[in-house]
Amino acid sequence: MIALLKNSLPLSVWFMLISALGFALMAACVKAVSTYGIPVLEIVAARAIVSGVISYLDIKRKGLSLWGNNKPLLVARGVVGALALIFVYYAVTTLPLAEATVLQYLHPVFTAFLAIIFLKERVQRSTLVCIVLSLLGLGIMVLPNIQLFTYEPSTYELASSSLLMIPSALPYSWISIGAAILGAFGSAAAYVIVKKLTKTEDSSVIIFYFPFVALPIALILLGNDFVMPSLPALGLLLLVGIFTQIGQVGLTKALHCEDANKATAYAYIQVVFSVLIGWFFFSEIPVITTIIGGSLVITGALVNVLWKR
């Protein structure tokens, strides 16, 4: 059965499944380490250090040039990716894990549009269906729950949510929602750049440029807000970098196998991983609007992936 499943799915699907699991575990570690008072920018910097060391060793193992060929585009990938990551991490630390993941995984919608403009890729009807269902799911999930003004839950709401184990039922900050959507757009832009770079660069070099550029950006923006992590927090920061590397390698290799707007659609399985992780580790039970909206988003992804089959 396992052998049949392995042979029936394209290689890009397997790479994206590995990537999705890696990023889901990474997001869970980010959320967990934020409870120790570690600022988002410090988490970004820690991730960049771990990812940079792993990427550097991998490049040396392959005997490749560290700086690549298309340096301007590699730097652009690093800058765009760093800014997107800051938005994504802010959303993860201020929203329930499932909601933050669904919002961030709107990036295939943005990727499809950017791929048309910059990569001259033709968008198939299945991708258009995916876009429509994703946007509809976004509206159902967010609009009934968004809080347009600063929201301070009452003691009764906090106590009730804790008792019922439904922290997802509290309204979402529009700042957090906006950060998640900006993160999704930035991720899409980074993926389009990565797709273009795969024609001239090795995946390890592409991955290396992200921490190489993200680290100084994060440190400059962090300023004097550094918090000395405890031993458990330090372990979580290390796991953030490790799981990130797994996600990045899977994603980059998947983009070698498929069109940008197709390959990234497979990553929607991260939504399922995040719901399960949020449920088991953070007692986050998604509300009905999240379930309906997220189901539409996943349905759109399945239509995109299975259309030809």
In terms of Cβ atoms closer than 10 Å to its own Cβ (0-12, 13-18, 19+), residue 125 is exposed
Q: Please state, rounded to an integer, the average pLDDT across all residues of the chain.
A: 79
Band (pLDDT 50/70/90 cuts) for residue 162 is very low
268 or 110, higher pLDDT? 110
Q: Encode pLDDT of 169-226 as tens digits.
A: 446 778 888 899 899 899 888 888 888 888 888 888 888 898 899 999 999 999 889 9
pLDDT of res. 228:
92
- 3-state secondary structure string, the chain? CHHHHHHHCCHHHHHHHHHHHHHHHHHHHHHHHHCCCCCHHHHHHHHHHHHHHHHHHHHHHHCCCCCCCCHHHHHHHHHHHHHHHHHHHHHHHHCCHHHHHHHHCCHHHHHHHHHHHHHCCCCCHHHHHHHHHHHHHHHHHHCCCEECCCCCCCHHHHHHHHHHCCHHHCCEEHHHHHHHHHHHHHHHHHHHHHHHHCCCCCHHHHHHHHHHHHHHHHHHHHCCCCCCCCHHHHHHHHHHHHHHHHHHHHHHHHHHHCCHHHHHHHHHHHHHHHHHHHHHHHCCCCCHHHHHHHHHHHHHHHHHHHCCC
Q: pTM of the prediction?
A: 0.78
Determine the Cα–Cα distance for residues 269 and 300; give it in Å rounded to an integer: 12
Q: Encode pLDDT of 217-271 as tens digits.
A: 999 999 889 999 999 999 999 999 889 888 878 877 776 765 555 565 666 678 7
Nearest to 272 by CA among 253, 291, 248, 247: 291
Length of the chain: 309
Q: Encode pLDDT of 35-53 as tens digits.
A: 999 999 999 999 899 888 9
Cβ atoms 52, 212 nearer than 8 A? yes
Domain boundaries, the chain: 11-306
